[in-house]
Amino acid sequence: MYDIITVGAGPAGSYFSGLASKNGFKVLQLDLKSEVGIPNHCSGLVNKRIIKYSGEELIIDKPESATIYTPQGCIELKNKDMVVIDRIGLDKKLSKEAVEAGTTLSLNSRFIEFKIENNAVTVYYQNRGKLNKASANILVGADGPASNVRKKLGVAEPILLPSIQFDLKKLDSNVKIWLDRRKIKDFFAWEVPQGATSEVGISGRHSINFPYELLNNYPKIEIIKRRGGVIPIGKSVLGAQGIYLIGDAAVANKATTGGGLLGAFKSAEYLMQSLNKEDTFMSYKKLWNSGFGRDIKNAYLLRKIIDKTEFFYNLWYNTFKLSSKIINKVGDVDYPEITAMAILDISLIYSPLLLRYFISDLAQIHNYSRQ
């Protein structure tokens, strides 16, 4: 009998299991992978505050600017706080720390279902074709965006945006973002430098051709690797009493950027702080809703506004241009809502000018929808 069974050995699951083991809990951790961290789906672009969790040694790149391409033109933004971390290295490091702290890690172990029996949770999992079971006082679902623990809880699924990425020989030392809802219907495309390589990717349904368009710009570049992943978009879900969700399983990522590493760590920390409380679930909810969960909620609201207005290219482009100085000052890949608030302030000051762009966009959208 364990105190905790954690499903998933990504950053959320391993960081949480490590913390729990260090605090004297007996932890069993399951992951369906045969090697921690592989395959990797993440670009690893974060604010340097993540170094607290990753350590300096996992930084593989330090882009200093991001160029945003829109149908109206491009804008270059500066930011000295961005870093790219070795994501496979991060998963391995956190997993090693958890195991060293006492977590029992079982790889090749796919969570199937759980049952509540005699005030304990019995977890059924498949290991190399054989069905096993283990029991614990609590179950933690850290099994990523398409979480099966979340499914078994009967929670409604968030939107799951598929992504496709290509690793190429290094193209550029800075980040590039493409925002064009006519081609990338649900999200955006990116190029992120990753040490000796660059990652070109998109996320969103019906956009699969766009990365090939980008790759046409580099006809002689060899594709080293193709990979893919899933980004959950929706409201956070923290689970239920005794069955808790953290990281992407809890939709603890930003709906604006898809970034989820900080949310993975924050949710793991809040749950850890709640374990010894009389009502763990209530405490976890309170910490989340008054802490990082608020930023996640705001990012989701912002995303809904962007979804409704991104066709206003003239307006967006000129608002970004007018705000570029302030974006350079407050821009933070982990907190895009802060940038959005600063942009809103500038927009109010320039509202008469921006109204003109809004009207010209309206006319264009009207013509476009009549074609």
Ligand X SMILES: Cc1cc2nc3c(=O)[nH]c(=O)nc-3n(C[C@H](O)[C@H](O)[C@H](O)COP(=O)(O)OP(=O)(O)OC[C@H]3O[C@@H](n4cnc5c(N)ncnc54)[C@H](O)[C@@H]3O)c2cc1C
Question: Quick one: CA torsion of 101, 117, 12, 91, rounded to 10 degrees?
Answer: 60
CA–CA dist 63, 80 (Å, integer)? 8
Tokens for 281, please give them: 């679930």
Q: Is 236 in the site for ligand X (CB under 6 A)?
A: no
- Tell which one of 6, 10, 25, 92 touches ligand X (CB under 6 A): 10
Measured from the CB atom, is 204 or 314 closer to ligand X? 204
Measured from the CB atom, is 59 or 261 closer to ligand X? 261
Three-state DSSP class for 314? Answer: helix
CA–CA dist 257, 43 (Å, integer)? 12
* Window of 21-29, 235-243, 257-265, 304-312 that interacts with ligand X by CB under 6 A: 257-265
What one-character DSSP code corresponds to residue 350? Answer: T
DSSP 32-77: S-SSTT-S-----EEEGGGHHHH-GGGEEE---EEEEEETTEEEEE
Q: Which of residues 310-329 bind ligand X (CB under 6 A)?
A: none
CA–CA dist 217, 191 (Å, integer)? 13
The full 3-state SS of 226-257, as one line of letters, equals EEEEEEEECCCCCEECCEEECHHHHCCCCCCC
Measured from the CB atom, is 9 or 238 closer to ligand X? 9
Residue 35 CB, nearest approach to ligand X (Å): 10
Residue 133 CB, nearest approach to ligand X (Å): 14
Q: Is 8 in the site for ligand X (CB under 6 A)?
A: yes
Binding mask 103-142 for ligand X (x = CB under 6 A): -------xx------------------------------x
Q: Are strands 59-61 and 82-85 parallel, antiparallel or unpaired?
A: antiparallel
Measured from the CB atom, is 36 or 315 closer to ligand X? 36
- Tell which one of 259, 293, 331, 336 touches ligand X (CB under 6 A): 259
Q: Which of residues 160-189 bind ligand X (CB under 6 A)?
A: 163, 165
- Taking only Cα atoms into account, the Rg of the chain, rounded to an integer number of angstroms, comes to 22
Q: Is 158 in the site for ligand X (CB under 6 A)?
A: no
Q: Is 60 in the site for ligand X (CB under 6 A)?
A: no
* Window of 115-123, 174-182, 214-222, 226-234 that interacts with ligand X by CB under 6 A: 226-234
Measured from the CB atom, is 59 or 264 closer to ligand X? 264
Burial annotation 148-177 (CB, 10 A radius, 16+ → b, else e): bbbebbebeebeebbbbbbbbeebeebbbb
Q: Is 238 in the site for ligand X (CB under 6 A)?
A: no
- Is cis: bond before 219, omega within 30 of 0? no
Q: Is 229 in the site for ligand X (CB under 6 A)?
A: yes
Contact between 314 and 288 (Cβ < 8 Å): no
Three-state DSSP class for 303? Answer: helix
Measured from the CB atom, is 31 or 86 closer to ligand X? 31
Measured from the CB atom, is 302 or 315 closer to ligand X? 302
Tokens for 365, please give them: 């959208």
CA–CA dist 219, 274 (Å, integer)? 53
- Tell which one of 61, 86, 167, 248 touches ligand X (CB under 6 A): 248
- Tell which one of 3, 22, 35, 41 touches ligand X (CB under 6 A): 41
Residues with Cβ within 8 Å of 43's Cβ and at least 6 positions away in sequence, in order, are: 84, 87, 165, 190, 192, 194, 199, 201
* Window of 55-63, 252-260, 293-301, 362-370 that interacts with ligand X by CB under 6 A: 252-260
- Tell which one of 18, 63, 89, 144 touches ligand X (CB under 6 A): 144
- Tell which one of 18, 158, 193, 201 touches ligand X (CB under 6 A): 201
Measured from the CB atom, is 143 or 269 closer to ligand X? 143
Give the footprint of ligand X on this chain (CB under 6 A).
7-13, 30-33, 41-46, 110-111, 142-144, 148, 163, 165, 201, 203, 229-231, 247-249, 253, 258-261, 264
